[in-house]
Structure formats: C-alpha cells, structure tokens
Structure 1
Amino acid sequence: MRNCLLTLFLLSISCFAMAQSKADRDEIYAILNRQNGDWNKGDVKSFMHGYWESDSLMFVGKAGVTYGYNKTYENYLKRYPDRASMGTLKFEFVNLTFPAKDVAFLVGKWHLTRPEKGDIGGHYTLLWKKMKGKWVIVCDHSS
C-alpha cells in the first residue's frame, strides 16, 4: 500500500513537471517564432524583445563577448544595416532542455537567405531564464 501511494505521488509530480515543461517549451518556441517574424519584417527593435533588457545580457559571437542589451542591439544594427544584409531568417530548433527550475538551454541552427549578399548561417545556443513569469534570453552564443 505504501509503495503504491509513493508511486502515485511520484507519477503525479512527474506529470506536473512534464505539463509545465510543455507550457515552457511552447512559450520559448513562440518567442523565437515571433523574433523570426520580426527579423523577416526588418524590425530589429522588436526582434530584441526576446532578450533580457539588462547590462548583464551576454552575446558571444565571432568578434567576442558583448555585454548589455543596448550594445547587442547596436551591434545587430551595425552588422545588418539594411534588408539586403538581414535577408530572410530561418531557425531550426535542435534541442531544448531545462537543466534547472526556471532555466532553459536551447541549441539550434540559423540561416539567412540573402540573394544579393550571399547566404550565411551557423549554430546558436541560448541560455534562457524565467524572470517575473517571463522567459528571456540571458546569453546568446551564435556562430
């Protein structure tokens, strides 16, 4: 009887965690899909709304580490000054895990189709944190 109750208890906790993770997954994927749409409309300012608005935001790219929301935004504008440079973005989600409560880690691929400038792409890893009930990217490593 005791083992049966323990098993039921553990199963209920497991089901709750899976349901919560599904909601969290859906929210993170929705943010990325919205960002994808914003990028493809040429709206870098709206694209940035997936990132943590903090001086502690970290972006790691081929030029090194950038700290801060504003600096990351400025770098996007500098690197992609026009629609031809921005191209059409496509994300591929490879693996999304939740290593701790309110923490997510996503590995994916990105591709920019740019007929005038040549296509580019690579991989990315995003570290997410749920703050005040909202998922935000706290570290982006894109290569």
Structure 2
Amino acid sequence: MASANDAATELKQVLDEQSACWSRGDLECFMQGYWKSDSLLFVGKSGVTYGWEQTLENYKRNYPGASAMGKLTFNLKEIRTLSPDTRLVVGKWHLKRDVSAGDLTGYFSVIFRHFPDGWKIIADHSS
C-alpha cells in the first residue's frame, strides 16, 4: 500500500481530474472518479442515491448543460486515513457559473477506497 503522502497525492489527482472533466462539461469523465458499482452511495440535498448509473443520471438531470455545470473547484480541508485502503476527504466545492445561472458552493465528505485500478469514491455526501 502507498504511503500516506503518496495516497494524498493520488486522491488529489483524482479530484483534480474530476474538476477538469466537470469544467469541460464531461459528466462521463467526471464519473470515472467514482466506484462503478450499484453499491456506490451518494447523499445530497434530495436524499440518498445508490449506484453509479443512478448518480450519473441525477447529475445529468440537475446539470443539463455547460452553463448549469460551470467551472468546478475543490478546496480540500482534511484527508483522514480510515484504514490502509480507505480515506475520508472533506472539503469545499465551488461552481463558478455565468450571472444568469449564479454560482453555487457547498461542502463534501467522500470516502475513497483503493482498488487495483486506483482510488475511487465509494461514498459521497455533498451539500
């Protein structure tokens, strides 16, 4: 297993890739940071969602185009080791959007698990 510093660097890379994908309007790319499983857990203002496909569909419904999506940035507050292969990441997200759509901001906590193909988000609570 990677050292704590290596893991933190890898987690930040996943989030940076997600931010870049989102900011290009590419939800399929953005979702590559998530565990592609029916057991993926997402908690948001509308409640609990299970599964990668349903989470993607919710994003598509709530952010129907580039102007709704805007430019995404993350400000990480804490990375905490839960076990050798799981990490909790807490941070703030910000969507910079045009004036008509208005900016959005909130906080998130995600749990990452290390898989053979890298770190993936297995649970996301965003508000």
Q: TM-score range by the shorter chain?
A: over 0.9
Shift of 1:52: 0.2
What is the aligned partner in structure 1 of residue 109 from structure 2? 125
Shift of 1:132: 2.1
Equivalents in 1 of 2:66, 2:124: separation in Å? Answer: 22
Q: Report the structure, 1 or 2, having the larger strand content.
A: 2
Total equivalences in the alignment: 126
For 2:60, give the aligned amino acid: L
Q: After TM superposition, list the pairs within 5 Å mapping 1:37-56 onto structure 2.
A: 37-56=20-39
Shift of 1:133: 5.2
What is the aligned partner in structure 2 of residue 28 from structure 1? 11
What is the aligned partner in structure 2 of residue 62 from structure 1? 45
What is the aligned partner in structure 2 of residue 91 from structure 1? 74
Equivalents in 1 of 2:117, 2:33: separation in Å? Answer: 14
Equivalents in 2 of 1:107, 1:100: separation in Å? Answer: 16
Equivalents in 2 of 1:55, 1:133: separation in Å? Answer: 18
| Paired-residue identity, % | 41
Unaligned runs of 5+ in 2: none
| Residue 104 (str. 1) matches residue 87 (str. 2) | yes
What is the aligned partner in structure 1 of residue 126 from structure 2? 142
RMSD of aligned alpha carbons: 1.2
Equivalents in 1 of 2:48, 2:85: separation in Å? Answer: 24
What is the aligned partner in structure 1 of residue 64 from structure 2? 81
Runs (4+) off by over 3 Å: none
Query: Normalising by the residue count of structure 2, what TM-score does the alignment of the two structures yield?
Result: 0.95
Other structure's SS at 1:76 match:
helix
> CA-to-partner distance for each residue in 1:65-110, whole Å, 9 max, x for gaps?
0000000000000000011100111110000011211010000000
Query: Normalising by the residue count of structure 1, what TM-score does the alignment of the two structures yield?
Result: 0.85
Unaligned runs of 5+ in 1: 1-16
Q: Which has the higher contact order (CA 8 A, sep 6+)?
A: 2
Q: Report the structure, 1 or 2, having the larger helix content.
A: 1
